[in-house]
Amino acid sequence: MNILFKSILSVAVILAFTTLSYAEETYKIGAVNASRILQESPQAEAAIKMLEKEFSPRDKALVEQQKKIKALEDKFNKDRAIMSESERTKLERDVVAMQRDLKRDQDEFREDLNFRRNEEFGKIQKRVVVAIQRIAKENNYDVILGEGVIFASPKVDISGLVIDYLKKEVNGTSE
């Protein structure tokens, strides 16, 4: 019984010292603000400009469709008193058909734009992850926190380092 007590006591003492040594160990922790990185990175700016250029002609065409519909509606409201029944019916059908086409075109435009935006920002997110991993290794971070961080002091926020890395990548000076 005495040997069992001494064994338990020695294990407890070893665990206590082990726990103290772990408690004294420090870790380098960083945090990233993904939305800030996506707002300030040159890759995101370039993607936005590219998407605007790519989708601008379709957007202008949709605006023109809206103007045509508005002009027909205005004509209908202005001239309906002097139009024959068949003219009014035909113009009403034309307006309804144009509105239906416009809605379909707007929906397709929105879907295509969202698909392309997700595609481009997915590529950027992969580059951001690589940048974060490289910065963490180069600066000896033990943990980098991302999504789900409610607060991170500027002392641990490495978002600026990631943005700088991405800027260097665009200029061809990373590594």
Res 20 pLDDT > 50: no
φ, ψ (nearest 5 deg) of residue 105: -65, -40
Region label for 174, one of left (φ > 0), alpha (ψ between -120 and 50) or beta (otherwise): beta
pLDDT of residue 39: 87
pLDDT at 174: 56
Tell me the C-alpha distance between 34 and 144, whole Å. 12
Cβ atoms of residues 117 and 59 within 8 Å: no
Domain of 102?
2-171
CATH number at residue 140: 3.30.910.20
Partners of 31 in beta bridges: 145, 157
User: How many residues comprise the chain?
Assistant: 175
CA–CA distance, 168 with 175 (Å, rounded to integer): 9
In this prediction, residue 8 carries a pLDDT of 52
3-state helix, strand, coil in the chain (%, to 5): 75, 5, 20
Per-residue pLDDT tens digits for 128-172 = 989 999 998 999 888 888 887 767 677 888 888 899 999 998 887
- pTM of the predicted structure, to 2 decimals: 0.68
| Structural domains in the chain (count) | 1
pLDDT band, very low/low/confident/very high, at 60 (cuts 50, 70, 90): very high
The residue-averaged pLDDT of 3-16 equals 48
3-class DSSP assignment, residue 50: helix
CA 28, CA 30: separation in Å to the nearest integer?
Answer: 7
Give pLDDT, residue 175.
54
Model pLDDT for residues 82-112, shown as the tens digit of each residue: 988 999 899 999 999 999 999 999 999 999 9
